[in-house]
Chains A and B, each alone.
Chain A
Amino acid sequence: MKKTILTLTAVATFFSAKAQQVAFEEYDLNNGMHVILHKDNSAPVVVTSVMYHVGAKDEQPDRTGMAHFFEHLLFEGTKNIKKGDWFKIVSSNGGRNNANTTDDRTYYYEIFPSNNLELGLWMESERLLHPIIKQDGVDTQNEVVKEEKRLRVDNQPYSRFLENVKKHMFKKHPYKGTTIGKMEHLDAATLDEFLAFNKKFYTPNNATLVVAGDIDVKEAKKLIQDYFGRIPKGEEVARNFPKEDPITQQIEAKAYDPNIQIPAIMQAYRTPSMKTKDSRVLDMISSYLSTGRSSVLYKKLVDDKKMALQAGAINLSQEDYGTYILYALPLGKVSLADLTKEIDAEIVKLQNDLISEKDYQKLQNQFENRFVNSNSSVEGIANSLARYNVLYGDTNLINTEIDIFRSITREDIREVARKYLNPNQRLVMEYLPEAKK
C-alpha cells in the first residue's frame, strides 16, 4: 500500500513538472544576435528585452562602475528618440521599463500591452543601433549614479558588506570590485572611453533578444528581422579573466559601517561558477542552513540558543566564481567568535554526516516549490530565458535545471561541503559599527 502511494506521488510530480514547461523558440539573426520567443496568450502583455553579455567584470581596472554607468547612459536618447523622451514614450504607450546591471551582464526591458510589440522592438533596436552618447548626458548621469550609491550603499545599514567581502575573496579576478564601482573612476572617464565601451560590447553578436507574451510568432519574427537584422555585426568580444589562486589560509579581516549599532560576523568561501553542479549543491546547502524557521542556523542560533538576531547563508552565484557567505548578527552580549564556532559546528556536521532522509526530501520539496514559482510571470520568464542563454549557454535550463537539483544526492551535499567549506579556504570578517574603530 505504501508503495502505491509513493508511485502516485511520483506520477503527480511528473505531471506537475510537465504542466509548466516553458515553450520557446530560439534562433540567430545573420548578425549574430540571438533571439528567443516565448508565446503566452493568457494576458494581453508583451515583454521585449535585451541582455548584453557585459557587466562590471568587463571593465578596465581603473574604470570600475563603467558598465552600470553605461546602463544609465543608454536611456539618454537615440538618433530618433530625443533626450529625455525614452521614459515618456514608454509610459504614454501604457508600458513600463527598466534596466539593471550585475558583474556579468546588463539587462534592459519593456513591458507593454500587446498592441505595442513593435514599439518595444523599435526602442531596443534604437538603443543598440543609434545611441547618442554626449558629454552633457555623462555629466548628469555622473551625479545621478553618485546619488544612487549614496542611497543604496553609503546611507544604508549593512550595505558595505559585499564590497568588503569581495575585496578579500578576489585578488586578481575583476569580481574583486563592486558593480557600482569607484566614483573617482567614473569622474576620470572620458567621453571617448564611453564611446569605445559602446563599440566593444554593445553589438548584436553580444546580445540576446527575448520577446515573450501575447505575440503572433510569425509577425514577431518579421518585425525582429526588420528592426534588428539591419544592425551591423561587431567584433567578437574576447574574454580572458585572470584565475584566482586558491585560498589556503584563513583570511581574517575587519570592516566598518557608520550606519549600524549591532555588529555582524561573516564567513565567506570562494566557490565555483554558477554553471557547475557544485554551485547548485551549495544552493541546497544554503536552504538547508537558512530557509524557513526549521532550518539549521535559524533554529539553532535564533530560536533555540537565542545567540543571534539573524543568521543565514547566501550563495552568491556568478558566471566565473561564486561566493558563499554565512553570516550572523549577535543577540545581546554574544561574541562574534562564539557565533563562528556555532556555525562551524554545523558545517562540520555536514562534512561528516549525511543529512537525514527527511531533510533531504524537505530540500527537494523546497526546490520544486521554487521552480514552480520561478516561472509565474511573463517578465520573470523573459528574464530567465535571457539569463540561461547568456550566462549558462543553455536556454532550456529554464525547464531542466530542476532535474539537476533532483539529481543531487545526500552524498553530493557532504562532498561539496568537504570540498569548499573548510576554514583554510575562507575569509572571516568582523563587520563592526564605525564608532568601534
Chain B
Amino acid sequence: MKTKILSFVAILAMVFAVNAQRDLNQQPTPGPAPKIKLGKPEKFKLPNGLQVIMVENHKLPRASASLTIDNKPVFEGDKAGLSSMMGSLLGNGTTSVSKDDFNEKIDYLGANVNFFQSGAFASSLKRYFPEILGLMADGVKNSVFSQEEFDKEVERTLEGLKNNEKNVTAIARRVEDYLTYGKNHPFGEFTTPESVKNITLEDVKNNYNTYYRPNNAYLVIVGDINPKETKKLVTELFGDWKKGTIPAYTMPKATNPETTEINFIDMPNAVQSEIAVVNNIDLTLGDNDYYAALLANNILGGGGTARLFMNLREDKGYTYGSYSRLSQSRYAGTFRATASVRNMVTDSAMVELQKEINKIRYQKVSEEELKNAKAKYVGDFVMDVQKPRTVANFALNIARYNLPNDFYEKYLENINAVTLDDVQNAAIKYFRGDKARVFITGKGIEVLKNLEKTSDYAIKYFDKEGNATTKPEMSLPIPAGVTASTVVDNYFEAIGGKDKVAAVKSVMIVSNAQVQGIELTLTSKQASPNKTSVVVSGMGQTFSKQVFDGSKGYSEAQGRRKELEGKDLEDAQARKSPFEDEAYKAGELVRIEPIDGNNAYVIKYKDTEIFYDVKSGLKVKAVTTAKGPQGEVKVPRTFSDYKEVNGVKFPHKTGVKQGPMDLNFEVKEIKVNEGVTDADFQ
C-alpha cells in the first residue's frame, strides 16, 4: 500500500512538473515571500551606566564583545589627534599585566582584542571567551600609559602623517572635512605634525580618565553564550568600572555656502581626480523623512543600479564607480556624491554629477525606480534580519538614538509607505545642488584648463591643509639640456630622421575641408629654401592665395592683390621650406604644457607658439597671435594623424580655428620632390 501511495505521489509530481513547464527564456517570478522573525536580544544596565545587549546564537562555537563609548565628539584644537592617540596606546599593558604578557595571552588563545578611542572589541572561540572578556575589561579599566610607549606612538604618528602626504584620497577627504564642517568642528579638524607635538603623556592620561568611562557606553555580546552566565560575568568584570563626569561641549553648527562653489586642491601626482559634491544636512535616524531620504539617495547613487553609476560608469565610462551617500548623524550629517575619474574627464564628470543631483531635485523619480529601491531595502532587511549581528545592531541603535522599541518591526512598513512626492521633497531638502561645496582634488596642470571653461561657479584653491591658496602653476619645469633646437631635432627624428628630412626638397599637399556645406580645397606647395604657395579654392573659384618666391611675394583675396612688404616680407624671408620647423630652432623653449592630457614642449617663435609632444616628439599644435581690428586674436592650428609618405611622416589632419569657424582639413594627396616648379611661386 505504501509503495502505491508513493508512486501516485510521484505521478502527480510528474504531471505537475509537465504543467509547470517553465519558459527558460523568461525571467522567473519570485516565490512567496519568506517568513522572517525578528530576534530578541537580552538587555540589562549596570549601575555605572554601562548598557549591555546580548544575542545568543549557537551556530558556531565562538563569541564576540563590542564596546561602544558613545560620547559626544569633542573639538581638540591645537592638540588634534589626542583621543585617537589615547586609543592607540590602550591595551599596552594594565596595572596588573605587562604589555608583553597581555599580547601574548591574546595571541596564544588565537583571539583578537582591540582598543580604540571610542571603545574596544574582542572575539575568540567560545571556550576562551571568559578569559578574553576578562583581558578586555582589564584593558578598559586599568590601562597604563608609559613615556616609552607614548614617545614611540608620537614617532609612528608623525611617520604615518608623512606617509599620507602624497595619498590623493587621504588628502582629498581631509580637506573636504575641514571645509565642510569648519576648522573649529570636531569633524573638521585633523591631526598635524604640530598638533601631535603639542600632546603630552599627561594629556593622554587625562583624556583616558575623563572620557573612557561607562556613562554613555554599550557592550554588545554576540555568539555561543549563555546569557545568564554572561550577565554574571559582565557584572563581575565591568561592575567596578568607575563612572566619570563627561565635560559638556557645544558643537558649532556646520553651514553650507550661500551658493555652490568649486574648491580645488592641487596634487601633482594624481592620475585621477577625486570629485565630491558635498553639503551639510540635518538628518537623524528615525526622523519622519528618514526613509524617503534613504530611498532618494538610493535612487540617485546607492549602488550599481543607481543613476550616478549608470550615467558616469555604464554610459560614459568616466569612472569605476560613482555613488552618493547620506550620512545621518545626531551632531552633523552630510550628503556626498562622489566619483574618482581620470584627469581628462574631470570637468565633464563634475557636470554630470551636478546634473544628476539637480534632476532628482526638480523631477519626480519614476514609479519603477521607487519600487525597485524599496525592493532593495526589503531584500537587505529580509536577508540580514536573522543574523545575530543585525539583531544586536538594531538593539544598539534603538538605545543610542532613543528610538521606539518597535522601530525595526515597523521599518518595512515605513519604507513601503514612501511616495514619489516624499522622495522629491527629501531630495530638495537634503541634496543641495544649489548650496554645495564641490571638491576636486587632482592634477591642476591637466585638469584646470577644462574645468575653468566648464564650470558655472568660481574656483577657489586650497592647499593640502585646507588653507586658501592661489592657482597652481600651469606649466612644468624644462629638463636640463632641452632647448628649442633639441626639440626640433627630436621632431625631425620622430618624422623619419634628419637625413630623410634633408632629402625632401619640395612638398605639395592637397587637403579638403567642409565649411557650411561648401568643400574647400587647400593646396600648399613648399620648396627649399623658403619658397611657399598656399591657395584656398572652392566651388570652382580661388578664395585666397599667398605666394613667396624666396625674395618677394604677395597675397590675393577676392581679387585684390597686396604685395608683401615690411614685417610680413621679413617674416616670409626668414621662413624655412619645406619644413618651417627648421626656423623654430631660433625660437625660445618657454615651457612644458599639457594638451589633452599629454605634455608638450612649447617653443615661442615670433608671433607663434609651437607645441611638440614630449613623448612622441611630434608637432601637435601651433598658435599664432594675429592683430585684428578688435585687438589680438589667437589662431590655433592642430596637427594629427601622422602617416608616412616617402619615408617621412606628415600630419594627415589639420584643424584651424578662426573666430567662430572650425576648419578640419584632411589630406587628399601629398607629393614629395615632384609636382612643384618655380612657376608655382610666381
Contacts and interface: CB of A to CB of B under 8 A. Distances in A.
Nearest to B368: A92
A156 interface: yes
A372 B166 contact: no
Contacts of A89: 27
A337 B376 CA distance: 54
A375 B60 CA distance: 9
A415 to B, nearest CB: 24
B34 A88 contact: no
B190 interface: no
B383 A144 contact: no
A161 interface: no
Contacts of A118: 28, 31
A10 to B, nearest CB: 12
Interface string A110-122: 0111111111001
Contact of A365 (B30, B109, B382): B109
B152 interface: yes
B320 A366 contact: no
Contacts of A84: 310, 314
**Chain A at the B interface: SS class:** helix
B59 A93 contact: no
Nearest to A45: B383
A34 B375 CA distance: 32
Contacts of A146: 342
B108 A87 contact: no
B33 interface: yes
A382 to B, nearest CB: 14
B65 interface: no
B675 interface: no
Given A44-B34, A91-B376, A372-B60, A227 B342 contact: no
A134 interface: no
B379 A95 contact: yes
A140 B24 contact: no
A338 interface: no
A367 B26 CA distance: 46
A44 B28 contact: no
Interface string A320-338: 0000000001011000000
A154 B375 contact: no
Interface in A208-261: 214, 222, 226-227, 230, 258-261
A91 B305 contact: yes
B271 A139 contact: no
Interface stretch (A24-32, A287-295, A345-353): A287-295
Contacts, number: 220
A93 B155 contact: no
A297 B163 CA distance: 21
A259 B24 contact: no
A92 B305 CA distance: 9
Given A80-B26, A156-B169, A294-B104, A115 B32 contact: yes
B125 A368 contact: yes
Interface centre among B24, B104, B110, B372 (most CB of A within 10 A): B110
Interface string A13-57: 000100110000000000000000000001111000000000000
Interface string B37-63: 000000000000000000000011110
Contacts of A418: none
B28 A119 contact: yes
A150 interface: yes
Given A116-B30, A155-B270, A12 B127 contact: yes
B166 A260 contact: yes
A20 B305 CA distance: 37
A172 interface: no
B28 A376 contact: no
Given A42-B386, A94-B383, A262-B162, A142 B62 contact: no
A411 interface: no
B257 to A, nearest CB: 28
Contacts of B127: 12, 16
B272 interface: yes
A226 B24 contact: yes
Given A112-B379, A372-B125, A367 B110 contact: yes
B435 interface: no
Interface in B346-386: 371-372, 375-376, 378-380, 382-383, 386
A306 interface: yes
A368 B60 CA distance: 12
A19 B59 CA distance: 8
A228 B26 CA distance: 15
Interface string B69-106: 00000000000000000000000000000001001101
B274 to A, nearest CB: 8
A361 interface: yes
Interface residues of B, number: 75
A412 to B, nearest CB: 19
Q: Which of A79, A293, A306 has the most CB of B within 10 A?
A: A293
B446 to A, nearest CB: 13
Interface residues of A, number: 86
B490 to A, nearest CB: 22
Given A262-B163, A294-B104, A361-B108, A93 B379 contact: yes
A62 interface: no
Nearest to B167: A157
Given A116-B30, A146-B342, A292-B103, A92 B371 contact: yes
B125 A16 contact: yes
A93 B168 CA distance: 37
A258 B166 contact: yes
Nearest to B387: A43
Contact of B340 (A79, A115, A155): A155
B421 interface: no
B320 A148 contact: yes
A146 B25 CA distance: 34
A388 B378 CA distance: 33
Nearest to B315: A140
B317 interface: yes
B673 interface: no
A331 B159 contact: yes
A87 B33 CA distance: 21
A434 B166 CA distance: 11
A314 to B, nearest CB: 18
Contacts of B124: 369
A293 B107 contact: yes
B303 A155 contact: no
Contacts of A141: 317
B52 to A, nearest CB: 23
Nearest to A114: B34
A151 interface: yes
B110 A366 contact: yes
Nearest to B372: A92
Contacts of A309: 156, 159-160, 163
A369 B272 contact: no
Given A91-B375, A115-B31, A155-B270, 14 more contacts: A20-B60, A43-B387, A44-B34, A44-B383, A80-B27, A84-B314, A94-B379, A94-B380, A96-B379, A144-B313, A147-B341, A261-B163, A362-B107, A365-B110
19 contacts: A16-B125, A19-B60, A43-B383, A80-B27, A92-B376, A94-B380, A95-B379, A113-B33, A115-B31, A116-B28, A140-B314, A140-B315, A143-B318, A152-B320, A214-B34, A309-B160, A331-B155, A369-B111, A373-B60
Closest 7 CB pairs of A and B: A94-B379, A143-B317, A44-B34, A365-B110, A369-B110, A292-B107, A92-B372
Interface of A: 12, 16, 19-20, 42-45, 79-81, 84, 87-96, 111-119, 122, 125, 139-144, 146-148, 150-152, 154-157, 214, 222, 226-227, 230, 258-262, 291-295, 299, 306, 309, 329, 331-332, 358, 361-362, 364-370, 372-373, 375-376, 433-434
Interface of B: 17, 22, 24-28, 30-36, 59-62, 100, 103-104, 106-111, 124-127, 152, 155-156, 159-160, 162-169, 269-272, 303-305, 309-310, 313-320, 340-342, 371-372, 375-376, 378-380, 382-383, 386-387
